[in-house]
Amino acid sequence: MMNKQPVIAGIGELLWDMLPGGKKAGGAPANLVYHASRLGAEGYAISAVGNDAPGTEILRELNRNRIGHCIATVEHPTGSVKVELTDGKPSYTITENVAWDYIPPAQEAIALVKRADAVCFGTLAQRSPVSRDTINALLACAPENALRFFDINLRQHYYSKGLIEACLVKANAFKINNEELEAIAPMFGRKGDADAICRWFMDSCRLRYLILTAGSEYSTVYGEGEKSSIPAPRVTVADTVGAGDAFSGAFLYSVLTGSPLREAHRKAVDIAAYVCTKNGAWPPYPDK
């Protein structure tokens, strides 16, 4: 699509993942931005933290990891998530009524989104009307040709068919995993295999891209008239926290800098596999 340094904005949750081995900064939009930035994008996380010590600390982590950001400080506690791991696979208990439920439509964020090449969002941060309204307002400011990347990111009970439909109307790129696809297919009256359901979403939602990930099995990327399927590499898993976000960040950076779909898909697979071998969503990148 382009060869300049792409601008990628991730809007939504910013929080502390409370892992068995200690806390790690995270949140899907910030995770995506971290990986896109490590690869060379001009990336920004748009969210909110509390006027508290965890908020100050997470801002310090963003800066330490060279993650660009537009983070408001609000009168609600900084978010946290209890993460339990079973064979490296996470399950989440998400604290409610926290700072990222109250993201304001700051002028700085509006100006940033107006020049973005990709804007990334999901369902979780839209559990509250304040952040949902902000996400919708910011998406409306995105350039017409920007990728509006909807990572469905189903968590607990924080989603509905209506919310998913509203997001798909705004999106032109859609990421979902196989478990999420199985969960939402009946909502849309879809039956059949994953390929048929994905093709239905591609056509009915007029998407440029659809990404389906299936954990340790495979991933498939659908483009306009293209399809790429790649088996997942076999790696020694530390945990899978943030691996899907790493995939998204690498894929977006690659397509926005002109890589063909298959090449962008391979890069995304490799980065996600690397993240699975490390603890937390923001592992340091090797020199090569």
Tens of pLDDT, residue by residue over 77-111, are 999 988 787 776 777 788 899 999 999 999 999 99
Report yes or no on 140 lying in a domain.
yes
Report yes or no on 107 lying in a domain.
yes
pLDDT in the model for residue 122: 97
User: What does the pLDDT look like over 171-227, one tens digit per residue?
Assistant: 999 999 999 999 999 999 999 999 999 999 999 999 999 999 998 899 999 999 999
Distance spanning both ends of the chain, measured CA to CA: 25
Report yes or no on 150 lying in a domain.
yes
pTM value is 0.93
Q: Alpha helices, DSSP H only, in the chain? A: 28-39, 53-64, 107-113, 129-141, 161-170, 178-184, 194-204, 243-256, 261-276
Task: Say which CATH number the domain at 70 has.
Answer: 3.40.1190.20
Report yes or no on 49 lying in a domain.
yes
Place of tokens 């990986």: 35
User: What does the pLDDT look like over 14-55, one tens digit per residue?
Assistant: 999 887 778 889 899 999 999 999 999 999 999 999 999 999
pLDDT in the model for residue 240: 85
Report yes or no on 200 lying in a domain.
no
Q: Which domain holds residue 34?
A: 7-174+239-276
Report yes or no on 115 lying in a domain.
yes
Of the CA atoms within 13 Å of residue 56, those in its CB half-sphere come to 3
Task: Evaluate whether 122 touches 29 at the Cβ level (below 8 Å).
Answer: yes
Number of domains making up the chain: 1
Counting residues of the chain whose pLDDT is more than 70, the rounded percentage is 98
- List C-alpha distances in Å: 16 to 24, 31, 60, 81: 6, 12, 13, 6
Place of tokens 């697979």: 269
Report yes or no on 216 lying in a domain.
no
pLDDT in the model for residue 2: 54
